[in-house]
Structure 1
Amino acid sequence: MNRTQRPSLFGISLDALTMDETVQRCLDAVRRGEQIEIGMVNAAKLVNMRRDPRLAQAVAGCDLVLADGQAVVWAGRLLGVRLPERVAGIDLFMRLLAAAQTADIPVYLLGAEQRVLELMLQEISARFPELRVAGSRNGYFDDSAQETIADAIADSGARLLFLGMTSPKKEIFTAGYGKRTGAHVVHGVGGSFDILAGITKRAPMLWQRMGLEWFYRTLQEPRRLGKRYLTTNVAFLLMTARELIRRTPSPALSANRSH
């Protein structure tokens, strides 16, 4: 899809792709030697993008921007923006790891604390024993080290790069150094490393389908996440309501058009 034809939600151009289509797009990029950077948006990130211009610019500059949150898909439907399904970052991560193992595509994993990274690598080795891990590094580094890290990833020969870092760090790294890494696909997977390492638990499928994955996470870390999710969810509801009002013609205007 041409970038100018992408549907827009809250001023952000999104890619109306299914999970299968996204995986295929990534594999095609590897096969053709192209480079694509993936941006994932959920309700909280869309709110934060309005508050943080650097984050907004980094996401908007990605080659693919996908609806990672179910609330984004629902808001799209309410506002007349067709998004076929949620493409969850962790699910795309797992699908690409499986595809990389099958096609012998080398991967690099960057992010999390060293202990979490090691636990995740053990889990990945158990699930994907034939996967070629070209390299890995924890996500604790100063901005001044970004260039050196990007060069190390390029030297590793990795074709898929997964960033297990929080926003906006992963988006800013992608925008600034994604191309320099030489990876054909750069995918920011957020807290997926923690989930694979067994540090945090993912919500059951029913909770995911109901759009309550954020609430499940809050129950695990109420002090850290409670206020954050409450404020961003309320802000997202207000954003959606304002946009719905803006897009709905007034009765007077509709009557004038009918004459």
Structure 2
Amino acid sequence: MDKIKIVGSYIHNLNMQETLKVVEDSISQGNHLHHVVVNAGKIVEMQKDVQLKQSVNNSDLINADGQAVVWASRVLGKPLKERVAGIDLMENLVELAHQKQYKIFFFGAKEDVLTKVVENYSEKYSPNIIAGYRNGYFNKHDEEQIAVDISNSGANILFVAISSPTKENFLYQNKAILKKVNFIMGVGGSFDVVSGKVKRAPLWMQNAGLEWFYRFIQEPKRMWKRYLVGNSKFIFLLIKEKLGF
């Protein structure tokens, strides 16, 4: 797979359909695939968090979740085909699981959000796609047993809806235990959207690269540092790389 590097982060140059093909082939062949997405904020954090950088760059499949990363790739003269948003990939894979009779384990978020996600997908598709679920609140010493439980659940797909860098590090550090799960992926706050707790930006804002701004105006006190400060740092890093500093 074609891979580029932007500000220290590797990214595979795949569109949504190509990504889905890679994932479907991996599951159908009984292989194991560790997936991760990157956006501007995560790339900024990777500059100072060595463990996060290792967890991301050693993944098997890396997509650009943020439109800012796609724009950055064009500025640097190595354009990515398109943004592959984690939540959109997750939604496509849930539908694929229903079609192919795969099973999914949902891990993360608060208990009420998690149960609503499981309920929504069970009603939309079938309860048969559910291998198991667990909320995202745990102690560090519980991680290994959680990974063992997920591995033994019979899941083909694992979605982890926990904030960074915890989800990336959990998947990377427990990759060997999770080997029986064909596809493992961090999905951040996607469960909040699927449950209806958080509204997703209108399509025109997604296409314009303004999804982050829509999220910001919903929770400005919580999100201002992540988006306004993080995006500014990303632009600075991009300029440095463009100028060869």
| Superposed pair shares fold, TM > 0.5 | yes
* Matching residue of 1:100: 97
Give distance in 1, aligned partners of 2:144 and 2:239: 42
CA contact 1:38–1:187 (8 Å) conserved in 2:
yes
Give distance in 2, aligned partners of 1:6 and 1:227: 30
* Matching residue of 1:54: 51
1:246 Cα deviation after fit: 1.3
Give distance in 2, aligned partners of 1:11 and 1:173: 21
Deviates more, 1:44-53 or 1:86-95: 44-53
Give distance in 2, aligned partners of 1:209 and 1:77: 16
**1:1-259 to 2 correspondences below 5 Å:** 1=1, 6-129=3-126, 131-181=128-178, 182-246=180-244
Task: State, as a whole percentage, how many aligned pairs show the same letter.
Answer: 41
1:179 Cα deviation after fit: 3.2
Alignment partner of 2:159: what SS? strand
CA contact 2:36–2:61 (8 Å) conserved in 1:
yes
Unmatched segments (≥5 aa) in structure 2: none
CA contact 1:100–1:131 (8 Å) conserved in 2:
no
Alignment partner of 1:238: what SS? helix
Give distance in 1, aligned partners of 2:128 and 2:185: 17
Alignment partner of 1:163: what SS? strand
Alignment partner of 1:166: what SS? coil
Please identify the structure whose Cα radius of gyration is greater: 1
Q: Structure 2 counterpart of 1:88, which letter?
A: A
User: What do the CA deviations read for 1:36-69 (whole angstroms, capped 9, x no partner)?
Assistant: 1011000000001112111111001100111000
Unmatched segments (≥5 aa) in structure 1: 248-259
Q: Structure 1 counterpart of 2:63, which letter?
A: L
Query: Could you state the TM-score of these two structures normalised by the residue count of structure 2?
Result: 0.97
CA contact 2:122–2:129 (8 Å) conserved in 1:
no
Give distance in 2, aligned partners of 1:224 and 1:207: 20
CA RMSD in angstroms comes to 1.2
CA contact 1:23–1:92 (8 Å) conserved in 2:
yes
CA contact 1:171–1:188 (8 Å) conserved in 2:
yes
Give aligned pairs, total.
Answer: 244
1:121 Cα deviation after fit: 1.1
Q: Structure 1 counterpart of 2:135, which letter?
A: N
Query: Could you state the TM-score of these two structures normalised by the residue count of structure 1?
Result: 0.91
